[in-house]
Structure 1
Amino acid sequence: MADRLPAAFAEQAANCAALGSPFMERLMRHLAAHWPDDTALAQHFAAWPGEIGPRGASLPLRLASGLHALVLSGQNAELAAAYPGGSGGNLAAAVDRALHRHDAFLARWCDRAPQTNEIRRSAALIAVAHWLTARHGLPITLSELGASAGLNLMFDRYALEIGGHCFGPANAVLQLVPEWQGSLPPVAKPVITDRRGVDLAPLRAGRPEDELRLLSCLWPDQAERLARTRAALKVQSAMVDQADAVDWLEQRLATPRPGQLHLIYHTIAWQYFPAEAQARGSRLLEAAGTRATADAPVAWFGMEADDSAEGAGLRLRLWPDHLDMAIGRAGFHGQWIHWQG
């Protein structure tokens, strides 16, 4: 048990390297080798139940976001100087001192799961929505589980660029340009008639403390992610309810939606649900599938970690067609997509 935290930091370091963040790799490797056992945070982490690494509670990323929050909020000038964009400094020393100086803050901060709301995951959502529109020709109702700030509920305001082909509005707020392999999505443009999400701790655009929480989860040496998120925050207008996701889903599925396709989705969120919640949510969606009709189809899309070492799996289930398809894979940050739609 004593070795599991260094192992979690080491695994996260490898993931950060693969995802193009040398700074985060360096930070994670330092924490793996120089963990402060004399802090309340260390005791908190040592008692944490279950999987603590990237496929579970993601404690390394929780801590990284807490340290980044100290930088973004101006609470620790020494740490800010050693971070990307700073004037320079000894990162290892600054981190070690910050872990002790801000021990209570970091312990509280890490109680909440990461809420990156990575915008590039919308590239997969855009492709799925085009595919569903081409197949059914119906307007779409969106329901997102684990929606965080709801930025990926606004995917129809973004443009997906693939080899000179544009999928999205001409006045798109931002452009998503993933490394794309596979056929192009259909050209059928989705029409979103209703959008709503749920999160245990939703973040509100325009609320400074919530925007800090969101931006801090982004990696400090990836400035384009920070810029993209700030742009999306300016147009976020979707409602995100604070509730248990499965209770909310039960109510959401109970509303008849004739003449509309209901798309329920989650992106790197399902893994944070307890096993019993996952089982109950699956039963609710499958029951909704038995009630689906050609005039009111139900689709369930997930972009989630699985047993593969390469990115996240893209899985789509569709009723009343009774389709269950692996439609590709994507980088966890949506930086690449292997499309099999």
Structure 2
Amino acid sequence: MTWQRAFAAQAQSCRDLGSPFTATLLDSFVSVGLPDGPIGARIAAWPGDISSNGASVPLRLAGALHGLVLEGRDTDLAAFYPPHPLAEPAELHQAASAAISRHEAYIDQRLNDAPQTNEVARASALILAADALAAQTGLPIVLSELGASAGLNLNFDRFRLVTPAGDFGPSDSPVILTPEWRSPAPAPHGFTVAERQGVDLSPRDPVAERIRLLSFIWPDQTARFHRIEAALDIAAASPPKVAKADAIDWLETRLSKPHPGQLHLVYHTVAWQYFPAKVQARGEALLAEAGERATTDAPMARLSMEADGHPPGAKLTLTLWPDGTTHELGRFDFHGRWIDWSPPRF
């Protein structure tokens, strides 16, 4: 895929997901061109797939530019960012290109790392699944998250989910999730997290890398930005444990440990789809083997929220062992804006 097609496709995704600012920024590079110099040359010659299905180079660049603004490095560029009105594409392109030229070393370094959004609004699905599992098994839950990044969604039991049928989670939580319901909402039952760990190839420190993590939030999505800020505050007070390792190597070790009297929930949100096919196959085999060892006293579950090529949003599936039945839980917006929930039929 050419860089122009990758930028155009990402711009459309940003527009569809409610960020006209980021869409305009990325589209401006398509219409006017990349800036002259080493940054433009690097992006144009980037090997492999640079789209959101690969290296996500457009979002790397957008995050780097937002980082300049959040860190107070470029007041001229900040004048074009929200809350200022959206500029004309040519003006925004000129401002962004000038900032890239002024901060080549910073942008070049930031292009090395893929975006990690830590989208905590996806936790609505995690809360609903954990609550349903607790209602079914009556057991406290051990969490294992694959692709956890800064681990913000390991704290999902500390978030509040507002629904028409009642609220889940602590009433005083600073993270308040209010998705649009496209289906009947279940009544809350309540669940307890006994222990939590995650894994990521490149875990991020929610305190030391706070601004970097926020830079990947699209600048005109104020509510989303403040939600991530609140989740980072929770992570600072209750630091999540995220190992730096290959996800499936870590999972093999994690699954080898018994959890009598507890339910082990393995979950991933928009992460599994980026694993190579061989890695996915190994992970599926490990989960199946662990499922065979599960008992009613020590059950295991796997929750998946991943793109399946059928819009809208991502598909939710839940498998519970020892019976090994997979339940389709409906569909969920990638940024948690809406949910179409189908309760599991245990």
Category of TM-score, reference length = shorter chain: over 0.9
- Residue 335 of structure 2 aligns to which amino acid in structure 1? H
Deviations 1:131-150 (A, max 9, x none): 11111111100011111111
In 2, Cα distance between the equivalents of 1:315 and 1:43? 42
Alignment map for 1:94-133 (pairs within 5 Å): 94-133=95-134
Alignment map for 1:197-216 (pairs within 5 Å): 197-207=198-208, 210-216=209-215
Any unmatched runs of 5+ in structure 1?
Answer: none
| Aligned match of 2:273 | 271
Q: 1:56 to 1:313 in 2, by over 3 A?
A: farther
In 1, Cα distance between the equivalents of 2:169 and 2:48? 41
Match of 2:18 among 8, 17, 20: 20
Deviations 1:130-189 (A, max 9, x none): 111111111100011111111111111111111262111222232110001223235221
Q: What displacement does 1:37 show?
A: 6.6
Aligned residues of 1:147 and 1:240 also touching (Cα < 8 A): yes
Could you tell which deviates more after superposition, 308-317 or 211-220? Answer: 308-317
Could you tell which deviates more after superposition, 157-166 or 189-198? Answer: 157-166
Match of 2:243 among 241, 244, 264: 241
| Aligned match of 1:301 | 303
1:337 is paired with a residue whose SS is strand
- Residue 231 of structure 2 aligns to which amino acid in structure 1? A
Aligned residues of 1:40 and 1:104 also touching (Cα < 8 A): no
| Aligned match of 2:93 | 92
| Aligned match of 1:61 | 59
Q: Does 1:178 align with 2:179?
A: yes
Alignment map for 1:65-80 (pairs within 5 Å): 65-80=63-78
Deviations 1:38-79 (A, max 9, x none): 443344334544432223322211111111111111112211
Aligned residues of 2:166 and 2:187 also touching (Cα < 8 A): no
Aligned residues of 2:144 and 2:265 also touching (Cα < 8 A): yes
Q: 1:49 to 1:256 in 2, by over 3 A?
A: farther
Aligned residues of 1:316 and 1:327 also touching (Cα < 8 A): yes
In 1, Cα distance between the equivalents of 2:253 and 2:186? 32
2:144 is paired with a residue whose SS is strand
2:149 is paired with a residue whose SS is coil
Identity of aligned residues (%): 50
Could you tell which deviates more after superposition, 105-114 or 48-57? Answer: 48-57
Q: 1:306 to 1:46 in 2, by over 3 A?
A: farther
Any unmatched runs of 5+ in structure 2?
Answer: none
Q: 1:308 to 1:68 in 2, by over 3 A?
A: same
- Residue 80 of structure 1 aligns to which amino acid in structure 2? A
In 2, Cα distance between the equivalents of 1:200 and 1:188? 35
Aligned residues of 1:297 and 1:318 also touching (Cα < 8 A): yes
In 2, Cα distance between the equivalents of 1:94 and 1:196? 42
Deviations 1:254-274 (A, max 9, x none): 111111111111112223323
Q: 1:24 to 1:265 in 2, by over 3 A?
A: same
Could you tell which deviates more after superposition, 221-230 or 36-45? Answer: 36-45
TM-score (norm 2): 0.92
Aligned residues of 1:13 and 1:28 also touching (Cα < 8 A): yes
Aligned residues of 2:28 and 2:92 also touching (Cα < 8 A): no
1:235 is paired with a residue whose SS is helix
Deviations 1:176-222 (A, max 9, x none): 10001223235221110001111122122221xx1122100101001
| Aligned match of 1:283 | 285
In 2, Cα distance between the equivalents of 1:166 and 1:310? 25
